[in-house]
Structure 1
């Protein structure tokens, strides 16, 4: 519970910094509920004698707004860049911050979510703790789209507005679909 409390405070601080990076007031992203709706998921990937034959988590971008990831020294996280996979080497005491698809939408593409995956190892277990910030449940039935203050003639909206509950329904059904949920709302 103590860890979760610290992650919520870290999330609030990160959303303040991200708001400022977008040229908004520091409290903007927190005020619209971005730091609410935080959930924590832990993963344990046992050592695998033939890691090339298995995958921890398939290629995906995080559906939510922001993810804070703590991983042990084994690594296993990879990001996709220019059609090539790169290892994200763990840093002792460090955290990995992933921009999710919803922050890409809110920022009108100023921040980009990244495709990533987790791979197994034959050396030892991979352990990770992910804290997902997906917005408060009260946002599920409200229109969601690019922040109006970021839209202009020179920077038109890149996404149409949508309901979060519809977006999450598409995300959780995406194993049956090859189209990422964010693509349904691109203009």
Structure 2
């Protein structure tokens, strides 16, 4: 609860105008988090049941001996969890490590250099700020972020930050290749031709989002990321070994334990929509941590965000008399726009598109 006379708008503007983000607060030696980050205790306090052995996000070896077995494991994870981790995915550990280091370099470089990328203009090639929804969300999250679109029209190399330019280009190419592979496996898991999801342009667009979660002096009072679902088709996440990602299943928060060399994959809203609820887009969040800083790189697969009239609805091969369409058709732009403006309360925007 905000104290009497507290001018939230003024505090938000001062924080934003400083262009130093949450890291700037930590660098200044803050010992108590500002009121704009304080989250209702009933939201922060929910914890996972770490004693349940069956509550471990599946880890799938993409170089397993039986392809049919890999497809079946992906099908089960996508239907049950909405999340899974992949190992032997073809991206060298050295590349993963350097990508994490590159993100750290960006956020830990000289403040004046970093400030040149700070903006609220999402049409810019590179966008760095703290909390994309800073002025619309009821509470701010304890994190800073930079993002850009790496497909189908990536920035010119010279437009990317020096701190992570080379590794970002290399990693995005490898992630695109992995994404193509995953969409093939997901198509087969839906009982479709291997090229089906790719032919729908599900991997045409790639958004590259790098999060930096500074060590928090009062992690019990805030979150690194509030609960949400992802609005694209698929997300591939690289997280460091500190952890903090949780998914909401069976009415509780479950920790996604970091696995060395693994990548976390989760189903997005649009894939749940076109699969007619066969696959699940599940709420997830990131808890704040006294350890830190925590780093993650989320790669979101979608179509190109350029205006398009192409409609997406439940795939006709997945519809039957016993399983009628559960969603109306929508364009990706309509869905993302609605998600951006109407999903701020943490409720899945999918509900709006139900038939």
Matched, 1:130 2:298: yes
Aligned to 2:151: none
- 1:87 paired with 2:255, answer yes
In structure 2, the partner of 1:11 is 179
- Could you say which residue in structure 2 is the equivalent of 1:2? 170
Shift in Å, 1:149: 1.1
Corresponding residue number in structure 1 for 2:234: 66
Give the match for residue 51 of structure 1. 219
Tell me by how many angstroms 1:14 deviates: 0.2
Which moves more between the two structures, 99-108 or 118-127?
Answer: 118-127
Q: Cα–Cα, structure 1 residues 143 and 90, in superposed 2: closer, same or farther, change >3 Å?
A: same
Kept in 1: contact 2:227–2:346 (CA 8 A): no
Distance 1:64 1:57 in 2: 17
Taking the aligned partners of 1:25 and 1:85, their CA distance within structure 2 comes to 35
CA-CA distance at 1:47 after TM superposition: 0.6
Query: CA contact under 8 A between 1:101 and 1:113: conserved in structure 2?
Result: yes
From 194, 197, 206, the equivalent of 1:26 is: 194
Q: Report SS of the residue matched to 2:209.
A: strand
Give the Å deviation of 1:136.
2.7
Secondary structure of the equivalent of 1:6? helix
Question: Deviations along 1:8-59, whole A, 9 cap, x unmatched?
Answer: 0000000000000111110000011011101110000011121111111110
Shift in Å at residue 139 of structure 1?
7.4
For the pair shown, which has the larger CA radius of gyration, 1 or 2?
Answer: 2
Give ranges in structure 1 of 5+ residues lacking alignment. Answer: none
TM-score, with structure 2 as normaliser: 0.51
Cα distance, 1:180 vs structure 2 = 2.6
**Deviation at residue 140 of structure 1 after TM alignment:** 3.5
Query: Aligned pair in 2 of structure 1 residues 73, 178: CA closer, same or farther (>3 Å)?
Result: closer
Question: 1 or 2, which has the higher strand percentage?
Answer: 1
Q: What do residues 64-97 of structure 1 show as CA deviations (whole Å, max 9, x unaligned)?
A: 0000000000001001012211111100000100
Structure 1 length-normalised TM: 0.95
User: Helix, strand or coil for the counterpart of 1:172?
Assistant: helix
Q: How many residues align?
A: 187
- Runs of 5+ unmatched residues, structure 2: 1-168
Measured on the aligned residues, the alpha-carbon RMSD in Å equals: 1.4
**Using CA pairs below 8 Å that are at least 6 residues apart, which structure has the higher relative contact order?**
1
Aligned counterpart, 1:101: 269
